[in-house]
Structure 1
């Protein structure tokens, strides 16, 4: 076994990402080739690449690269799937004994990360024509034991309050960049949007191939049609009580002064903040914006800076809406696009937990 520093991407035998997987989609070998079939094969590969989001594909590629490297460091091969080896791999991830194949032990991974790794392996095996039975006792029993022994309540990001978002917006300049970032914060908060949903918006339907939705502006508000994580959904964002805090007004101002009437809504700007580009923003910009605005606005100033940065993320916008919207939670559920009220409650950092008193309801 080599003791070289571990790098999950340095082995040339490790799979060639989703490109290699999609290249395996072709016409049947026993069917004679033709221009039409070859074009259909190209189309099928394009659809295969669109089967999951870019972020999901990148995560699955990293999962497979790590597992393949781990197998080879143990003197095994990742193909075909071996439930016994996968069970040992999961145990290694949970114990932190050596899942970074080097001389030193590594920090144990969380149960949610291990579960995600297993999902990544299942997906990768399926793309290579193999079925991984997660119910096999070598996998299922080990995973059940890991969850029983190591499971912890999920670490949740801090929710941003309504007064917080106003304080964050107030720190932004009034150049183009400030108008754009103000719109991102207000629209993301009022819509309970994921950061990927924010930056994927176009002005119109079918403006770009990588569009994740579009916006229609009406007198009473804006209607967002989103191709979200759980499928297509519509999000209604009404106008606010005043222009300074109205997401729809901010959107109109940004589109007008940035002269955007086609393509991505949220694009980059020049360094001086005076010109808008045509390039769509990366969703990481939303996370960086939130963290920077939290610091500038002095939110949770009772904590050290690093702790404050760790508390807030893109999900803080969704958690803020879920926690502080003074409406029935079923409306919040629909707004966020959750399949169940239970999922919505995971986002709620503050709610009236004892509004229904089951103890008194039973007569006690």
Structure 2
């Protein structure tokens, strides 16, 4: 195995259909979904231990979000497929092989390149994608009992070089401002269950500064579902939202709007009343040609789809081509919109968004504070 830090020679792979490096492992097994550190059900275990095993497996699944699990499973499958094409085995993990893999990702040759053949013209992965793939490889290896040392120089030095050469400013989603939101609300179907639900989702998401998973993860009350991320309490003054985040629980206060047309509380109450909701998920699928409300919780992707659809229908940023407008806005645009438009003390916005630092909040206030202070004039020019 060549030293990829000290040498620049190509990595020659022996002609063999069996992975020559490490223990050969079934490719089908390696490319399946996320592993579980809990043992598979064993018929020899007492019944009460089998029940505990299933419960432990459920806790393992709850340790990360569904989006993270999907991304990690896809990244591991991508890495395992690359290793298979190079006649290598992903396990046990070799830092030099991982270093070569992230190099291939950065150069756009990680997909579809066979052993001894380098396919050019592929799209290079972004730095953030490579970092996520690296995290996924480390997690999967650890769960399979073969920890990967990501601080090894064969990985860390290559990754540092990738960051220095390819890192770009983060692409932030465009903030939806109040006038944009009002125009978007006007495009929704009036007098329909779907329109009532979508209006409530947009107003609650904006006024609460909520993430899309937080919007769809709400229940009507406490401890009403296993997959819920929080619940609502409606009071005379507004809506109190209790959310479970990465660092614990937090409360978000959503007050009444200045008019009925833009009041989150009124929109929420209308949706709950006409949908006849009493318990369980707050935002659900509308079925039966828009006449019935199903029991299933909405997927958080529906928030992004709703925002994009309403943005295009309302003509927000009509100066841009439709395809570009669709890329600029997403579910996070609601959260950014509150931070960019609320003319209040910064600490109130920070608390509403649940940020640990004021610096993170300032990143969201991208339009409100832009050119507010003119240092050119302040310097006397």
Which of these residues, 131, 135, 138, is aligned with residue 151 of structure 2?
A: 135
Corresponding residue of 1:53: 65
Corresponding residue of 1:21: 36
Tell me whether 1:153 sits opposite 2:169 in the alignment.
yes
TM-score, scaled relative to structure 2: 0.86
TM-score, scaled relative to structure 1: 0.90
Which of these residues, 69, 74, 78, is aligned with residue 81 of structure 2?
A: 69
Counterpart secondary structure, 2:28: coil
Corresponding residue of 1:42: 54
**d(CA) in 2 for partners of 1:101, 1:205:** 51
Structure 1 runs (4+) deviating above 6 angstroms are: 354-362
What pairs up with 1:160-309 in 2 under 5 angstroms? 160-174=176-190, 175-270=192-287, 272-309=289-326
Corresponding residue of 1:81: 93
**d(CA) in 2 for partners of 1:22, 1:101:** 32
- Give the count of matched residue pairs: 352
Moved more, 62-71 or 38-47: 38-47
1:8-32 CA deviation, whole Å, 9 max, x = no partner?
xxx62434313x42553789xxxx9
1:289-339 CA deviation, whole Å, 9 max, x = no partner?
111111111111111111111111111111111111111222111111112
CA shift at 1:348, angstroms?
2.2
CA shift at 1:63, angstroms?
0.8
RMSD across aligned C-alpha pairs, in angstroms?
Answer: 2.6
- Cα 1:345–1:277, aligned 2, differ >3 Å: closer, same or farther? same
Question: Can you give the 5+ residue segments of structure 2 that lack an aligned partner in the other structure?
Answer: 1-14, 17-26
CA shift at 1:123, angstroms?
1.1
**d(CA) in 2 for partners of 1:96, 1:273:** 45
Aligned 8 A contact 1:98 1:104 in 2: no
Which of these residues, 343, 348, 351, is aligned with residue 368 of structure 2?
A: 351
**d(CA) in 1 for partners of 2:335, 2:174:** 10
Question: Can you give the 5+ residue segments of structure 1 that lack an aligned partner in the other structure?
Answer: 3-10
**d(CA) in 2 for partners of 1:100, 1:156:** 31
- Cα 1:25–1:139, aligned 2, differ >3 Å: closer, same or farther? farther
